[in-house]
Structure 1
Amino acid sequence: MSNSQLTAGIVAGRTDAEALASNFSDLHPPLDNHEARVAADRCYFCHDAPCVTACPTSIDIPLFIRQISTGTPEAAARTIFDSNILGGMCARVCPTENLCEGSCVRETAEGKPVEIGLLQRHATDTLMAKQSHPYTRAALTGRSVAVVGAGPAGLSAAHRLALKGHEVTIYDARRKPGGLNEYGIASYKAPDDFAQKEVAWLMQIGGITMVENWMLGRKGDGDLAELLAEYDAVFLGMGLSGVNALRLEGEEKDGILPATDFIADLRQASDLAALPIGRDVVVIGGGMTAVDAAVQAKLLGALNVTIVYRRSRAEMPASSFEQDLALSKGVRIIEHAAPAGIIGNGAVREIEFAYTKAGPNGLEMTDETFRLKADQCFKAIGQTLGDTPEEIKIAGGKIITDGIGRTSMARVWAGGDCTHAGEDLTVTAVAQGRDAAEDIHSFLMEG
């Protein structure tokens, strides 16, 4: 957070260190061995398990739960990692209520699903705690692949390619790998530096070199043509670096910034008590990022935090669990309203909103308006791709790929949020990176 964004109402130390430690503790504490066995015994081990179909990485969920129930959590972890090498993080951040647990037969029958996410975490944490990697690389192929982006898609692709015997170099624009997992999710979802621990564990496969502070196309770094000249294939998984604008006069005022920047600053802060936060915080948007920003603002000590979304709560991209979490922390949610004006002299003081309604051509803003006090306003209305090579076909601001990640350019694949198939979910990015890696491997070995 820059100094220019520190206005009179934005101060540090609104909450003491003891309360902050409690506020940002693990959102879902892990199960112990007994609790895991009890939770596993609730599974019906369905033959045509709907939870597997609902999982973007198609983990064999009944199998790994049965392995936990028989006292072999390490085997369960191997079942998970075979499909999802970032299964540890996904167990923490996946919207399971919309995916595997939402499809659980127990959820349909009783309204209480098997705790698949917690069981997955129990298994993966057990194996990762042994500090040894369960996979061994295949014989070296002599082929090399460049991966642009050290987020979930890039890490997943890199691990699968290294496992197949290829040499992989990951290039990332930030100083630490992890992408969304490191910079883009709420601290209480993955405390204790788990994102970096997971990357270090993944890198034990060998054959992966990490290059940090390197951006595709930036002068002094390199472009796509140079990568293709040096490597046999390239995988693009750089996520979304830009932020959509409100397109309102005064958007440049102090106190208005992207929610992603706020979350990244918070995730990298060494002392949360020193992190400035406003008294009256407004978050514009309705996705997971909006909720993460709003909840963390409240946990830091903001007195009034309001999420404003242009459509109904039922239409919010954030899951019902995330919405309920926000409400439970004292965040207010206003629906059917869109930003119409920014009021303040140099720094934001209020945000004006107009109520919305459905019209013949889509959503329309009405003449009925209201204002919210705001000394800090976080924009969470979507992200953009940023600069991309001209040779790659783009549609709707994202890279076009086929079903297995191939782009319009030979020897170039892509996956994750930077593509049209991205869903702003770690688990989807992992699946796309994995599947693209399999196709890259087939291409390299045939070639």
Structure 2
Amino acid sequence: MASGHFKQGIAAGRLPMQAYAKNFSDLQPPLDRHEALVEADRCYFCYDAPCMTACPTSIDVPMFIRQIATGNAVGAAKTIFDQNILGGMCARVCPTETLCEEACVREEAEGKPVQIGRLQRYATDVAMAENKQFYERAAPTGKTIAVVGAGPAGLACAHRLALHGHEVTVYEARPKAGGLNEYGIAAYKSTDDFARAEVDYVMAIGGIEIRNDMVLGDNFQLADLVRRHDAVFLGMGLGGINALHAKGEEAHGVENAVDFIATLRQASDLAALPVGRRVIVIGGGMTAIDAAVQSRLLGAEEVTICYRRGKQDMNASLYEQDLAAANGVNIRHWLQPRRVIAERGKVTALELEYTAMEGGKLTGTGELLTLAADQIFKAIGQSFSAAGLNGSGDSIELEKGRIRIDEEGKTSMAKVWAGGDCIHGGDDLTVTSVAQGRDAAESIHRALTSNGRV
């Protein structure tokens, strides 16, 4: 009998049982104390630290690394959490290779930066393991704020508002809090249910209530929140999935990459998850990489990422692209989908067209290519759903399909702020969402305490 490796179509159990635990183990095991001390000693502790400038949350990187170097990991964690209460997850998922580590003087001098992300993880892991709580709530202000979305932006906003003594109610559409940290990143980047542990750590400050399965536009409207609360923060991320605009994309086997990743993240038995033998992922960002690599780790024999532009145009970092290649993923550029080929309603192949830049515009060349496939993942971006935003006699202004805000995170509607992936101009990074949630909270606090109203 043929092994599970050669099952046709989309099937579960392609690998030996023991392979799943190994394949989805921690991508970068944590540093132990000795390793952290050695790595911290490599830091020059720059006075005018470019790594700090490169961090969207402006963590004092030289300070926390010096604290690690002197054996004060808990103090280092406080330095991190003062700026980024979700510093533990950001240490795991941030593209540090294009942020703080790319700016590191060691990178400039010798091509080997200080491992800032792993040092940040070391410090925050120590503090969380010891349940060190650094913050006490201020005296109650009597003000209540609604936060829509329990993702990175919403949690950071809620924590900072609670710190200032306000009462916060978080309305979350999913059964669990955490947003993309819980549902949207590769399982090997955040193991041992860390996303849930981090939510618990944030909630420990008190003054925050999370109401799950509450969908804006369905269970409640923005106008309701504006009437009931002193201020509202919108941090619900993106809910819509962009279409391929390819013929036949409704065929069985064409799936959304974000749904695939969410299902995998919540699975109790990875061996039970079906995956195709030949998988194609359409897209060039982090979601495409995560879907492709995890397909391979589940046992797909051939995984190909198809991206319509060149390697340098991919949103996924070079590190992530190399990670995909190291896991056997083939990345092909200058290809766009034209037609999903199916038999009896099931995907059998994908017809693509070669692309090129002409006069600064991406165009199809007319030359076609057909790749065999039994599963196709769409990872070409998400769209914002404005359901539930309006209807109060006022409206939220949008810009290019997302919420328009000013420099403090204020929207066009009185009493309403926003941050994270749902706003125009964001870069779709966890760490940026945290910074936007934190800064909006400070703006809300100033507004509530300057004249008692917003």
Deviations 1:388-418 (A, max 9, x none): 4231111111100111110010100000000
Aligned residue number for residue 310 of structure 1: 308
SS class of match (1:75): helix
Aligned residue number for residue 226 of structure 1: 224
Q: C-alpha separation between the residues in 2 aligned to 1:132 and 1:179?
A: 24
1:440 to 2:437 alignment: no
Q: C-alpha separation between the residues in 2 aligned to 1:84 and 1:421?
A: 20
Query: Which residue identity lines up with residue 11 of structure 1 in the other structure?
Result: A
SS class of match (2:77): helix
Aligned residue number for residue 17 of structure 2: 17
Q: Does the 8 Å CA contact 1:143/1:167 hold for their aligned counterparts?
A: yes
Q: Which of residues 318, 321, 331 in structure 2 aligns to 1:320?
A: 318
The within-5 A match list for 1:332-347 is: 332-345=330-343, 346-347=345-346
The within-5 A match list for 1:244-393 is: 244-345=242-343, 346-360=345-359, 362-388=361-387, 389-390=389-390, 391-393=395-397
Q: C-alpha separation between the residues in 2 aligned to 1:198 and 1:315?
A: 33
SS class of match (1:147): strand
Q: Which moved more, 1:167-176 or 1:352-361?
A: 352-361
Q: Which of residues 425, 431, 434 in structure 1 aligns to 2:435?
A: 431
Q: Which of residues 413, 419, 422 in structure 2 aligns to 1:418?
A: 422
Deviations 1:19-67 (A, max 9, x none): 1111000001001111100000000000110000100000000000000
Query: Which residue identity lines up with residue 58 of structure 1 in the other structure?
Result: S
Give the deviation of 1:361 after TM superposition.
Answer: 5.5
Deviations 1:271-324 (A, max 9, x none): 000000000000000000000000000000000000000111111000000000
1:197 to 2:201 alignment: no
SS class of match (2:232): strand
Q: C-alpha separation between the residues in 2 aligned to 1:198 and 1:55?
A: 20
Query: Which residue identity lines up with residue 430 of structure 1 in the other structure?
Result: V
1:397 to 2:401 alignment: yes
Aligned residue number for residue 77 of structure 2: 77
SS class of match (1:76): helix
Q: Which moved more, 1:436-445 or 1:386-395?
A: 386-395
SS class of match (2:346): coil
The within-5 A match list for 1:30-109 is: 30-109=30-109
SS class of match (1:97): helix
Q: C-alpha separation between the residues in 1 aligned to 2:360 and 2:86?
A: 42
Deviations 1:349-383 (A, max 9, x none): 11111111101251001111101111100000000
Query: Which residue identity lines up with residue 418 of structure 1 in the other structure?
Result: C
Deviations 1:132-178 (A, max 9, x none): 42211011111000000000000000000000000000000000000
Query: Which residue identity lines up with residue 126 of structure 1 in the other structure?
Result: V
Query: Which residue identity lines up with residue 17 of structure 1 in the other structure?
Result: M
Q: C-alpha separation between the residues in 1 aligned to 2:272 and 2:172?
A: 28
Give the deviation of 1:341 after TM superposition.
Answer: 1.1
Aligned residue number for residue 113 of structure 2: 113
SS class of match (1:370): strand
Q: Does the 8 Å CA contact 2:57/2:432 hold for their aligned counterparts?
A: yes
Q: Does the 8 Å CA contact 2:232/2:416 hold for their aligned counterparts?
A: yes
Q: Does the 8 Å CA contact 1:281/1:302 hold for their aligned counterparts?
A: yes
Q: C-alpha separation between the residues in 2 aligned to 1:416 and 1:16?
A: 40
Query: Which residue identity lines up with residue 399 of structure 1 in the other structure?
Result: I
SS class of match (2:97): coil
SS class of match (1:348): strand
Aligned residue number for residue 237 of structure 2: 239
Aligned residue number for residue 3 of structure 1: none
The sequence identity of aligned pairs, in percent, is: 62
Q: Provide runs of 4+ in structure 1 moved above 2 Å.
A: none
Give the deviation of 1:424 after TM superposition.
Answer: 1.5
Unmatched tracts of structure 1, length 5 or more: 1-6
SS class of match (2:122): helix
Q: C-alpha separation between the residues in 1 aligned to 2:128 and 2:289?
A: 30
SS class of match (2:371): strand
Q: Does the 8 Å CA contact 1:398/1:420 hold for their aligned counterparts?
A: yes
Q: Does the 8 Å CA contact 2:64/2:79 hold for their aligned counterparts?
A: yes
Q: Does the 8 Å CA contact 1:133/1:202 hold for their aligned counterparts?
A: no
Give the deviation of 1:17 after TM superposition.
Answer: 2.1
Q: C-alpha separation between the residues in 1 aligned to 2:296 and 2:220?
A: 41
Q: C-alpha separation between the residues in 1 aligned to 2:109 and 2:204?
A: 43
Q: C-alpha separation between the residues in 2 aligned to 1:71 and 1:421?
A: 40
Query: Which residue identity lines up with residue 217 of structure 2 in the other structure?
Result: G
Q: C-alpha separation between the residues in 2 aligned to 1:336 and 1:247?
A: 17
Query: Which residue identity lines up with residue 89 of structure 1 in the other structure?
Result: M
Q: Does the 8 Å CA contact 2:30/2:122 hold for their aligned counterparts?
A: yes
Query: Which residue identity lines up with residue 291 of structure 2 in the other structure?
Result: A
Q: Does the 8 Å CA contact 1:101/1:113 hold for their aligned counterparts?
A: yes
Query: Which residue identity lines up with residue 203 of structure 1 in the other structure?
Result: M
Q: Does the 8 Å CA contact 2:247/2:338 hold for their aligned counterparts?
A: no
Aligned residue number for residue 141 of structure 2: 141
Q: C-alpha separation between the residues in 1 aligned to 2:442 and 2:425?
A: 17
Q: Which moved more, 1:358-367 or 1:374-383?
A: 358-367
SS class of match (2:406): coil
Q: Does the 8 Å CA contact 2:8/2:277 hold for their aligned counterparts?
A: no
Q: Which moved more, 1:343-352 or 1:326-335?
A: 343-352
Give the deviation of 1:387 after TM superposition.
Answer: 2.9
SS class of match (1:64): helix
Aligned residue number for residue 4 of structure 2: none
SS class of match (1:169): strand
Aligned residue number for residue 4 of structure 1: none
